[in-house]
Amino acid sequence: MKTQVAIIGGGLAGLALARRLDQTGVDFQLFEARSRFGGRIAALQTPNGAVDLGPSWFWPGQQSIATLLKALGLTDFAQYATGDQWYEDETGRVHHGLGFASMEGSLRIAGGVIRLADAFVAGLPADRLHNSARVATIDEQSGVQLANGQICTAPHVVLALPPRIAAGLTFLPALRPDQKHSLEAIPTWMAGHAKFVAVCDTPFWRDAGLSGDATSRRGPMAEIHDASGTNGTPAALFGFLGLPPRAPQGSCARDHDSSTGAVGPHFRGEGDDTCAGGASGLGFRAGNRN
Ligand SMILES: Cc1cc2nc3c(=O)[nH]c(=O)nc-3n(C[C@H](O)[C@H](O)[C@H](O)COP(=O)(O)OP(=O)(O)OC[C@H]3O[C@@H](n4cnc5c(N)ncnc54)[C@H](O)[C@@H]3O)c2cc1C
């Protein structure tokens, strides 16, 4: 295979670049390690629509994303922020009447951020997008080599993936130790966070005068927000769980169990025991486990 630009990574950055190259007539091939595109953008699919498991918010004034949504025919809506928020202190005492929702003013994408990734993919030539195609080596002579041995010759290679993950690739000639260390030292935003999503029949907290915002000094979720779709459908709450970015296999399931216990009997479904989220009432996703 031969191309002008080989893009490594099919998350938001890689897909946005692919779109730009496609629009300007530059030949490219995009390689994504996972079996799906979107990277950190992911969704829990429910019968009433998608709930974000990865990013949710953007803010007024962020013109690039606003322009992009318009171009792709997507719409936004305001994060639900009406009502009281709760705060649980370290002794377990719950304080009411704090009166503000911390994400007030932020915007969400109708149908979930997954629609952005889906729209990118739908608008790009399928024969240039390769999933389950992990790049193992970047060779100055032969181009990009996939883990399955396939080679793509390209004068330009773009790493559209977190720098510390890029540091794990084999470079020929090899990176200098200081270059490798520099890549490894760049933190990945949200790498230490996972989202726990609880899907409900109705946004019952809204009827009780609550915004869905809660913070806790005890955990396991330090911060909870309304994650419902437009007009409250699907109805959902999500909480951030702090996880070590390189948590050992199985720790997701363990934390999932403690979270499930903590959110109590309001929710349907047994949940999903993996880090990837599931189609039942509870979804769970780690921040950055490429
Ligand atoms: C839980 C969570 C909540 C977040 N909330 C927000 C928010 O509200 N607002 C906001 O603006 N941002 C938020 N973010 C951050 C946002 O998701 C990221 O900044 C953004 O999605 C990064 O996109 P990316 O394309 O740069 O990287 P990624 O999405 O990480 O994409 C990199 C891709 O490269 C692939 N890859 C890795 N190694 C290889 C390889 N060897 N070969 C081929 N492919 C490879 C990966 O599988 C992945 O698909 C959140 C992130 C998380 C995890």
**What integer is the mean pLDDT of 127-140?**
97
C-alpha of residue 110 to centroid of ligand 1, in Å: 20
Cβ-Cβ contacts under 8 Å for 131 (sequence gap 6 or more): 10, 32, 34, 35, 36, 37
C-alpha distances (whole Å) from 196 to each of 42, 87, 255 are 12, 18, 10
Atom of ligand 1 nearest to the CA of 40: 29
Reduce the secondary structure of 85-103 to three states and give it as a string.
EEEECCCCCEECCCCCCCC
C-alpha of residue 17 to centroid of ligand 1, in Å: 14
**What integer is the mean pLDDT of 15-23?**
98
Q: What is the pLDDT of residue 76?
A: 98
**What integer is the mean pLDDT of 28-38?**
98
- Whether the CB-CB separation of 112 and 49 falls below 8 Å is answered with yes
pLDDT digits (tens, 9 = 90+) for 74-98: 999 999 999 999 999 999 999 998 7
Q: What is the pLDDT of residue 31?
A: 98
pLDDT digits (tens, 9 = 90+) for 151-199: 999 999 999 999 999 999 999 999 999 999 999 999 998 888 889 999 9
Average pLDDT, the chain: 86
Of residues 30, 28, 31, 15, the one with CA closest to residue 72: 15
Q: What is the pLDDT of residue 199?
A: 97
Q: What is the pLDDT of residue 243?
A: 67
- Run of H or E residues at 133: none
Residue 30's pLDDT band, with cuts at 50, 70 and 90, is: very high
Neighbours of 64 (CB within 10 A): 9
Q: Which residues pair with 146 in a beta bridge?
A: 135
Q: Which of 7, 41, 106, 190 most suits a substitution to test ligand 1, by most atoms within 8 Å of the C-beta?
A: 190
CATH of 57-111+189-286, one of 3.40.1000, 1.10.10, 3.40.50, 3.90.660: 3.90.660
55 lines ligand 1 (CB under 6 A): yes
- Please say if the pLDDT value at position 276 is more than 90: no
Q: Could you give the CA distance from residue 51 to residue 114 in angstroms, rounded to a whole number?
A: 9
- For 5-39+118-185, CATH gives 3.50.50.60
The beta strand positions in 19-169, using DSSP E, are 28-31, 43-46, 49-52, 76-78, 84-88, 94-95, 107-109, 129-130, 135-139, 143-146, 151-152, 156-159
How is the chain split into domains, by residue range? 5-39+118-185, 57-111+189-286
Of residues 223, 254, 227, 226, the one with CA closest to residue 241: 223
Residue 281's pLDDT band, with cuts at 50, 70 and 90, is: very low
Percent of the chain at pLDDT exceeding 70: 83
| pTM of the predicted protein model | 0.88
C-alpha distances (whole Å) from 264 to each of 51, 75, 260, 282 are 20, 34, 7, 12
Atom of ligand 1 nearest to the CA of 106: 8
Domain 57-111+189-286 in the same topology as domain 5-39+118-185: no
283 lines ligand 1 (CB under 6 A): no
Q: Which residue has the higher pLDDT, 282 or 183?
A: 183
C-alpha of residue 2 to centroid of ligand 1, in Å: 27
pLDDT digits (tens, 9 = 90+) for 224-271: 999 999 999 999 999 998 765 555 444 443 444 444 444 443 333 333
Percent of the chain at pLDDT exceeding 90: 76
Of residues 258, 247, 240, the one with CA closest to residue 289: 247
Paired sense of beta strands 28-31 and 129-130, if any: parallel
**What integer is the mean pLDDT of 63-72?**
96
C-alpha of residue 44 to centroid of ligand 1, in Å: 16
Q: Is 221 helix (H, G, I), strand (E, B) or coil?
A: strand
Paired tokens of 31: 């390689």
Q: What is the pLDDT of residue 219?
A: 87
- Whether the CB-CB separation of 285 and 246 falls below 8 Å is answered with no
12 lines ligand 1 (CB under 6 A): yes
Q: What is the pLDDT of residue 241?
A: 87
C-alpha of residue 40 to centroid of ligand 1, in Å: 3
**What integer is the mean pLDDT of 107-117?**
98
Paired tokens of 218: 């005890």
Whose alpha carbon is nearest atom 34 of ligand 1? 9
Q: What is the pLDDT of residue 252?
A: 43
Residue 277's pLDDT band, with cuts at 50, 70 and 90, is: very low
- Please say if the pLDDT value at position 27 is more than 70: yes
